[in-house]
């Protein structure tokens, strides 16, 4: 099943536009709360974006252990108290309303993709905010590395790999990766710049032949959109924060809420805060 274009909910759909780079994170969250949807790559440039997964409290230790054992795809930026929809990463934000689109999971099945999850919220939910590779795109851009999906106005392509994460308690599943085509002259810069940002997936997990990760066809991503590569571009793969959603599908917890792939939570943190050098 391809997940890119399924939408639901009754609020008007308007895609994020080119002016969004200059928005403050608070302004972006306000627009998402009002119903604006779409991929958030490049939105509120310079501010850290995060993946979201909320699980019942009796699954929270398993999720924390899963993230601890799989830090490349699941670098934790914040964990909330049970039932809380606020985060230290964004003052005044509401995790139930302030993302462009969510996913609702029951027994590992995707049952809804609303723009607001207040109707689905539970008092026992613990939310995990996980680093996102959109955060390192500013560093790539500053180093002169072209970002094809941003140039083409598309969501980043994401793929479920054949590489299994280390299991934790009841949670298991494959690693998900995001892919950016990189011209050979920029490859060393792309590896160097992202390796300095371990809190947002760090260095690539693979460069080159996608079949080494068990990916058959780059033109058919599992999430996001296919992207057009330049003639000499090398596919470069980074661990991706959609990995917990693959774990939900594989492990089938009774309930979970997540962001829709590519439609992230905008935090007030600045990207350079997570740079290690």
Alpha carbons 35 and 3: distance in angstroms, whole number: 20
Using the predicted structure, report yes or no on whether residue 61 has a pLDDT greater than 80: yes
CATH number of the domain at 18-134+250-274, out of 3.60.40.10, 3.40.640.10, 3.40.1640.10, 2.60.40.10?
Answer: 3.40.1640.10
Q: What is the mean pLDDT of the chain?
A: 92
Amino acid 3: pLDDT:
40
Q: For the chain, give the longest Cα–Cα distance.
A: 51
Quick: pLDDT tens for 123-153. 999 999 999 988 888 889 999 999 999 889 8
Q: What is the mean pLDDT of residues 223-247?
A: 95
Assign a CATH topology to domain 137-239. PSTPO5379-like fold (3.30.2040)
pLDDT band at 95 (very low <50, low <70, confident <90, very high): very high
pLDDT at 10 over 70: no
Task: Please check whether residue 113 is in contact with residue 102, taking contact to mean a CB–CB distance below 8 angstroms.
Answer: yes
The Cα 140–Cα 149 span in angstroms is: 13
* Domain regions of the chain by residue span: 18-134+250-274, 137-239
Residues 219 and 53: beta-carbon distance below 8 Å: no
Q: What is the pLDDT of residue 20?
A: 87
The pLDDT tens digits of the residues spanning 151-181 come to: 898 889 999 999 999 999 999 999 999 999 9
pTM: 0.90
For residues 54 and 65, give the distance between their C-alpha atoms in angstroms, rounded to a whole number: 14
* pLDDT value, residue 245: 94
- Output DSSP code: residue 99: S
Q: How far is CA 212 from CA 9, 163, 208, 209, 216, in A?
A: 38, 9, 8, 6, 9
| Per-residue pLDDT, 134 | 85
The predicted pLDDT at position 18 comes to: 66
Q: With b meaning 16 or more CB within 10 Å and e meaning fewer, what string describes 166-197?
A: ebbebbbbbbbbbbbbbbeebbebbeebbeeb
Domains 18-134+250-274 and 137-239 are alike in CATH topology: no
Paired tokens of 175: 């690693």
**Which residues have C-beta within 8 Å of that of residue 254, sequence separation ≥ 6?**
56, 106, 107
How confident is the model over 68-81, as pLDDT tens digits? 999 999 999 999 99
């Amino acid at each position: 099943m391809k997940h890119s274009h399924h939408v639901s909910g009754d609020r008007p759909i308007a895609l994020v536009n080119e002016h969004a780079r200059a928005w403050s994170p608070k302004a972006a969250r306000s627009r998402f709360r009002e119903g604006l949807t779409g991929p958030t790559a490049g939105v509120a440039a310079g501010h850290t974006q995060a993946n979201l997964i909320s699980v019942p409290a009796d699954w929270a230790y398993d999720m924390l252990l899963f993230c601890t054992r799989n830090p490349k795809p699941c670098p934790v930026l914040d964990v909330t108290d049970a039932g809380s929809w606020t985060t230290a990463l964004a003052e005044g934000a509401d995790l139930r309303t302030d993302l462009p689109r969510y996913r609702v999971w029951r027994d590992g099945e995707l049952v809804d993709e609303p723009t607001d999850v207040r109707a689905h919220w539970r008092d026992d939910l613990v939310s995990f905010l996980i680093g996102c590779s959109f955060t390192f795109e500013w560093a790539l851009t500053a180093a002169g590395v072209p970002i094809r999906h941003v140039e083409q106005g598309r969501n980043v392509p994401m793929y479920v790999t054949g590489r299994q994460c280390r299991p934790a308690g009841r949670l298991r599943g494959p690693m998900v990766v995001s892919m950016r085509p990189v011209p050979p002259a920029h490859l060393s810069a792309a590896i160097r710049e992202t390796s300095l940002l371990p809190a947002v997936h760090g260095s690539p997990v693979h460069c080159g032949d996608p079949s080494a990760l068990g990916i058959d066809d780059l033109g058919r991503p599992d999430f996001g959109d296919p992207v057009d590569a330049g003639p000499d571009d090398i596919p470069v793969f980074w661990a991706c924060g959609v990995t917990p959603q693959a774990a939900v599908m594989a492990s089938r917890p009774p309930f979970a809420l997540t962001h829709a792939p590519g439609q992230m939570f905008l935090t007030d943190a600045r990207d350079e805060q997570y740079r290690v050098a």
